[in-house]
Amino acid sequence: MIEKFIDRLLDHWQLMLVVIGVGVILVAAAGELQISGFRFVINDSNRLIVLFLIGLGLIGAGILSLDSGGQSPQRRIANLFLGPIEALLFGKPSGEITRVRTEHNVYKNDIKGMKILVSFSISGRKGRECDLMAYFFHKSGEPLKDTNGKNRTTKGNVCAWETFKPGYSNTVYKKMEVFIPYGELHLEHGQYSLMFYVALFDNLRHTTIVSSDYYYFTYG
């Protein structure tokens, strides 16, 4: 039981850093720490400033380590703090992926690659920036690794995405395209059994709204 609990915590270590950082800042602001009758007062202003900076550092490290597709650090920071406020005002978004199909050996801007065409609906995101994400894996489940920093998640795994803003409270997309150049799969010559799944990602709440099943294909 304890081991499973520790494993769960380690799976979300970025959020743990943020929570600890917030706690450190609160202690610095209060100037004291009190736990189970134990009270420790910090009178030195320099130490308070150091604690405050440590707290900010922990929060920043946690936020910048979060996996967020292609989002910039500035956008991740803004989304983390604005997301909960926006959720209280407008409610939780929802979506449904109804169809996924692929077209291989197609060209976009003279670059050969793979086109993923997705039909889906999304609710509660009118005018809010979202991403249609595609994540790529070996058939074994091992993520494909990026090597040039272009089509990647913050964990260094291969992905592709299309950013969009729904025009209505309930919006239906019949065919949105995500394109991945074959070169961005970063595979040597040979034949590979691969798979991918697509997901709708809410940039403001920094959460996945809905994900598809895996779809299999052969490359090479």
The values of phi and psi at residue 132, to 5°, are: -95, 110
Q: Which two tokens stand for residue 4?
A: 């499973």
How do beta strands 130-138 and 170-181 pair?
unpaired
Q: What is the mean pLDDT of each run of 10 residues along the chain (220 residues)?
A: 46 60 64 54 59 66 54 55 59 91 96 98 93 97 95 93 95 97 95 98 87 96
pLDDT at residue number 206: 80
Q: In whole angstroms, how far apart are CA 118 and each of 100, 129, 174, 201, 209? A: 5, 17, 7, 14, 15
pLDDT at residue number 1: 45
Q: Kindly compute the dihedral angle of the four CA atoms of residues 94, 99, 105, 109, in this order, to the nearest 10 degrees.
A: -40
Question: Angle 2-11/13-30 helices, nearest 10 degrees?
Answer: 80
pLDDT at residue number 173: 98
Q: Which two tokens stand for residue 208?
A: 């996945």
pLDDT at residue number 154: 85
The CA distance from 140 to 161, in Å, is 23
pLDDT at residue number 130: 94
Taken in order of first residue, the domains within the chain and their CATH numbers are: 2-65 (no CATH), 93-219 (2.60.40)
- Is the CA virtual torsion 143, 144, 147, 148 positive or negative? negative
The CA distance from 194 to 185, in Å, is 10
